[in-house]
Chains A and B, each alone.
Chain A
Amino acid sequence: MKRIAIPVLAALLASCTPKAPSSYSNLDKVPSVFPDYTDITIPANIAPMNFSIDEQADEYITVFSTSSASTTVKGRKVRVPESKWRKLTAGSRITVQVYGRSGKQWSAYAPFSMSVSDDIDPYISYRIIPISVESYEKLSIRQRNITNFREKVIFSNTMVQNNEQGTCINCHHYKNWETDNMMFHVRHYKGGTVLVLDGKLNKVNMKTDSTISAGVYPSWHPTHDYIALSNNWTHQSIHAASHDKLEVIDENNDIILYETRTNTVSVIENDSSELECYPAWSADGRTLYYVSAHYEGPFGPGRESQMFLDKEKLHFNLYSKSFDPDTRVWGKKQLVYDASAVDSSMTWPRVSPDGRWMVCCISNYGIFPLDQIASDYIVFDLSDHSYRYADELNSPFAESFHCWSSNGKWFMFSTRREDAVHTRLYFSHIDENGHFSKPFALPQRDPEFNREFLNAFNIGEFMKEPVHITPRQFASFISSTDATPSKYESKRGE
């Protein structure tokens, strides 16, 4: 019995395993696939790069091969089993050959490749948000193991808010990519900044009598217990007829320093004629980069509407300030890039962990690149302060929030390149010369996911490890704890 069963089973399995066609005609084009994973560089530990074939055919067969392994997948949706994918990424280069059958004729598209490179941090987190204008109902911060497809909620506002009082959550951030020290803001109902300090939950209110708002965009100091944050007094308005649908302005901006151990806030910059925002520490924590626009519009009730009228005059320059983390003494502000001189606006500086590179968003005007189609990336070489447009990353649509992996080899960024409206997360490898590889979309189990999913990804952050606090623990803590008011301290030196 056994002697018959084993060959029969083997024959059955063999008949189920797709095989590349033996005869075919060659096509002189690389197949159109979604997401575009043709000729990219991928991390060795990334999840299977599943894709859909956007070519017309009756049947599809895709062969992945390296020098030591090969896998064949059948169907328009190309999904590689994880175990087989691991064998492929053990090689240095994966060649992908797509065949399509129309009628009885098989055709082979020109092959494309995926170069396998450095490992990437295994986890990322992001906020999932409907593409709403003013309201919000369901927001969640989620973590994804990018070595596979497992996604978990870190916290969702639906676990706290009720039908009368809404809760907004935003700006999750980690100290040195580790989750024992992390934060995110909770706004409105049960509001406060949730701080995890050495694994212990805290909730603080950073708004003091001497500052204009609670903390907003954070940057955690790499070596000391500080977080630099912006203060923002934000308004939104809608373009009546433009591809840029939404416009965000800040009526007022300052930047503050929050000391986590003492729960104290001090002002870093609060010039009333300057709008300072987006603080970002250098790799050694001895310089703070930020952006600022000069604006002398009226104060008071008419300021908001005047600022919307003046929106195209709001040009944010890039500045830096030296900082001694031990004494907490600040140096004078220094202009790094005069964006206003070229009628541009610079936002969201982020320095690579080796301190060599800094990437910022650059757009025509304003503070919120997420909603500006023209927003692109500019990359600075901090070793010689040269800069260039990162054309290999930029698309005709908005590029916005971005961050570096802990080893500095990978760059994750938010882009609307797929459909102009829904923000998606993309990755790119950076080499020692500061050259970025062709970006690729976060792989999904269903390759059509990005086309199907009607919410946006927002604020992608790398993590070395998952967040260990459960959503239930966060919810219980946020619901039951009042925010502790932060103390205000005056700034030291300059």
Chain B
Amino acid sequence: MHMSFSILNKTKGLSEKLFRLLPYILALLLWAALSIYGQYYLKKVEDLSLFLFDSLYLKEAAQTPGGLLGAMGSFLTQFLYYPWLGALIWTITLLSVYQLTVKAFDIPKRLMSLAVIPAALLVIANMSLGYGVYIMREPDHFFAPSLGYLAALIPLFTFRHVRSLWGRILFLTIWTAAGYPVLGMFAFLGTVSASLTALTQPGSLRKERFTLFASGIILVLVIPLIVYSFYTSYRMADSWIMGLPVISEDAWTRVMRAPYQLALLFIPVMATVSHRLKADGKSTLLQASVLTVSVLSVWIFWFKDDNFHIELAMSESVDRMEWQKVVDIYDKAVKSHSKSDERAYKARSKSLKDVTNRDEIADITERYRSRFFEPTRTMIIYRDMALLKLNRALEQSFTMKDGGRPQKSRCLIPMAYQAGKQIYLHYGLINLCYRWCQEDLIEHDWSYGTLKYMAMHSIIMGESEFAYKYLNKLRKTIFYRRWAREQTPYSLDSSLMAASEPYKSILPYMCFEDRMVNDMVKCETFLMRHYTEDEPPHATPEYDRAALLWAMRMQNIPLFWNRLYLYINSNKVVELPRSVQEAALLYSKLEKPPFEIPFSKQVTDSYDAFNRFIKSNPIRNMEESAYPYYSRFGKTFFYYYYFIRNLQTY
């Protein structure tokens, strides 16, 4: 009997130790996941934020309650420049959330896992955003709520040391009045939570408890009304949510905001119930359940869409102008999905076997669609842009998988919002780059990314004073001051641009005449029109290559001949790239070509093979036929012509 007790005690001790250790192990795993899997997302968060060592920056931050907390958040966000470092800081912040929650509420050891809940909710809040990151209004959203949470615990700790009623009321008054301008609603959260603790925890007179609680509530209600006169940056109705991350208000984005709110709600809830948590009793199951549910929730809500993460990786390489890496990321993504595509095809074929009803076929096809890898249009635009910069677009673009998978997002983010400034800058449409920088500015306020692109735009335009403004701002950052220093010579002497990236690869695309343009927030459609409707008299070889690429994408035969002619002349082509020959051969069978084109044997053989395959495998259902055709002819223009159609751009 004695021995079984001892074993029981040892087991209990072990499980307690394990549960105490598990949050740290989970934090380590989180850090690893963020640093490896989430690295490009973290980099994007950093790219959309800004912290400047600048008095004007802090002055502007102070113009909104909670703005200084935001500035602190932005200060930490800058370390996401190195995702592992930023992730480490955030993980430590979350561990602080866990530890201080335990301490603030005196959570007994046997129930310590409860303190994982707010940390898990903060992880969900940040990592479930997905495309929502592009419409987040506050660039500080990544760190600020965690910091705000920690700040809101301060009154709870203070109450332990200040016991007298008037002392507590005085503290709450100072805390709320002084804390609101700095912390926004997080100051109220602390006030309400401390008041609730005082109300619900036994030990003092009932009257005193009610007086304290009422004081806290009155402070929270009255102080915003008083201080509103000192601010002009928000609506009075928003006084009680200042400092919370703001996303444009529709039903879906309200859901996106919910994890932040739940994490913060945890404090007043715990303040109300924490005194009822008993130190003894069985809790292994509860602890295990809390941890399991927390981990599973993080896993489930973490935005894991492959295309989203590939886009982010490509975007980061575009920012660095690592063009080969852009192509490699894309290529790797296609290859890594080839086996799952094959499995999906087999499974779909099996399901479609003997099915003749059209609706049923469409239904099954639709069901299997998501199991096939298909790139988004943003990925294709990034890839083609990189191939153009590498001067391999006409050789390789049509040999690579194409498609137009819609964003996996409830709120569609137009490509222009996502990548407009990058795409337009590198295609030489620099005033549109300027325009989308401005839109970014409206959407997110200034960011490192916007300042960089604005600076590059101004340098290209030879607007040295304008460039100075942006470079000067970037000089006030930790991680971009070097970049700003490197760009300064170009802002002072535009002749240097011709020999240096990124400028030397942008300038050749700027050979068109100025005209009035409006992309109507449709980046791809605009590029297509720009390169196919305009015919600059002094087009460069680079421009004509891009124009031919877009003409091939348009699948417009007369346009193709026209752009091909210009391309041959300006690029002094001896042998046409294979994809171009394929297009020319295919079109020459449909329409007499305006000039003679020599075709290689490989191309004519491939065309014959394609025709033979068509005869033996007639295309009845485009989607069902696509896979076998892709397996054999996926690297040809013939496949592109027949199967890549009706793509929806955005």
Using a CB–CB distance below 8 Å, which chain A residues touch chain B? 130-138, 140, 153, 155-156, 158-164, 237-243, 245, 247, 308-309, 311, 418-422, 446, 449, 451-454, 470-472, 475-476, 479
Contacts and interface: CB of A to CB of B under 8 A. Distances in A.
The 8 closest A-B pairs by CB, nearest first: A419-B465, A153-B232, A163-B249, A135-B442, A237-B516, A242-B514, A132-B438, A419-B466
Contact of B517 (A161, A163, A237, A471): A237
Contacts of A161: 235
A237 B441 CA distance: 19
Contact of A158 (B55, B232, B530): B232
A155 B235 CA distance: 12
B434 A158 contact: no
A482 to B, nearest CB: 18
Given A164-B249, A239-B431, A135 B439 contact: yes
Contacts of B472: 451-452
B510 interface: yes
A21 to B, nearest CB: 30
Contacts of B249: 162-164
Most chain A beta carbons < 10 A, residue from B56, B469, B530: B469
Given A164-B249, A238-B517, A132 B469 contact: no
Given A156-B233, A240-B530, A241-B428, 11 more contacts: A133-B439, A156-B232, A158-B235, A163-B137, A164-B249, A238-B435, A238-B518, A240-B515, A311-B516, A419-B463, A472-B229
Contacts of B446: 454
Contacts of A164: 248-250
Contact of A238 (B234, B238, B431): B431
Contacts of B439: 132-135
Contact of B442 (A137, A159, A311, A418): A137
Contact of B469 (A134, A160, A419): A419
B441 A238 contact: no
A420 B463 CA distance: 7
A231 to B, nearest CB: 23
A311 B516 CA distance: 10
A239 B248 CA distance: 30
B461 A160 contact: no
Contacts of A309: 516
A452 B512 contact: no
Given A132-B439, A158-B233, A237-B518, A418 B465 contact: yes
Nearest to B228: A472
7 contacts: A133-B439, A134-B439, A164-B250, A240-B512, A446-B55, A454-B469, A475-B235
B394 interface: no
Interface residues of B, number: 47
A239 B466 contact: no
A472 B228 CA distance: 8
Contacts of A420: 463, 465-466
A132 B442 contact: yes
A242 B434 CA distance: 11
Contacts of B428: 241
Contacts of A135: 438-439, 442-443
A471 B469 contact: no
A158 B237 CA distance: 12
B233 A130 contact: no
Contacts of B236: 159, 472, 475-476
Query: Which of B428, B438, B530 has most chain A Cβ within 10 Å?
Result: B438
Contacts of B246: 163
Interface in B17-60: 54-56
A451 B469 contact: yes
Nearest to B234: A158
Contacts, number: 128
Contacts of A247: 516
Contacts of B228: 472
Given A164-B249, A241-B431, A130 B442 contact: yes
A130 B437 CA distance: 11
Nearest to B464: A419
A470 B442 contact: no
A368 B55 CA distance: 35
Interface in B416-437: 428-432, 434-435
B468 interface: yes
A422 B467 CA distance: 12
B563 interface: no
A32 to B, nearest CB: 13
A158 B228 CA distance: 13
B469 A422 contact: yes
Contacts of A160: 235
Contacts of A138: 233
B232 A240 contact: no
Nearest to B511: A241
A201 B266 CA distance: 45
A187 to B, nearest CB: 16
A162 B250 CA distance: 12
A243 B461 contact: yes
Nearest to A166: B442
Interface string B467-480: 01100110000000
A140 B429 CA distance: 31
Contact of B434 (A159, A245, A475): A245
Interface string B227-247: 011001111101000000011
Nearest to B246: A163
Interface centre among A451, A454, A471, A475 (most CB of B within 10 A): A454
B510 A241 contact: yes
A164 B56 CA distance: 29
Interface in B474-514: 510, 512, 514
A133 B518 CA distance: 11
Contact of A240 (B54, B56, B432): B432
B617 to A, nearest CB: 46
Contacts of A241: 428-431, 510, 512, 514
B517 A240 contact: yes
B438 A131 contact: yes
Contacts of A240: 429, 431-432, 512, 514-517, 530
A452 B435 CA distance: 20
Contacts of A419: 463, 465-466, 468-469
A130 B441 contact: yes
Contacts of B465: 418-420
A136 B512 CA distance: 30
A134 B469 CA distance: 22
A309 B514 CA distance: 12
Contacts of B461: 243
A479 B228 CA distance: 15
Contacts of A454: 446, 469, 473
A183 to B, nearest CB: 19
Given A238-B518, A308-B516, A451-B472, A245 B232 contact: no
B134 to A, nearest CB: 14
A134 B434 CA distance: 12
Contacts of B515: 239-240
A133 B247 CA distance: 22
Contacts of B56: 446, 449, 452-453
A379 B430 CA distance: 36
Given A239-B514, A311-B516, A133 B234 contact: no
A56 to B, nearest CB: 15
B467 to A, nearest CB: 9
A122 B19 CA distance: 69
B431 A245 contact: yes
Nearest to B439: A135
Contacts of A237: 516-518
Contacts of B468: 419, 451
Given A159-B232, A238-B516, A311-B516, A130 B438 contact: yes
A238 B463 contact: no
A181 B7 CA distance: 87
Interface in B294-331: none
Contacts of A242: 431, 514
Nearest to B57: A452
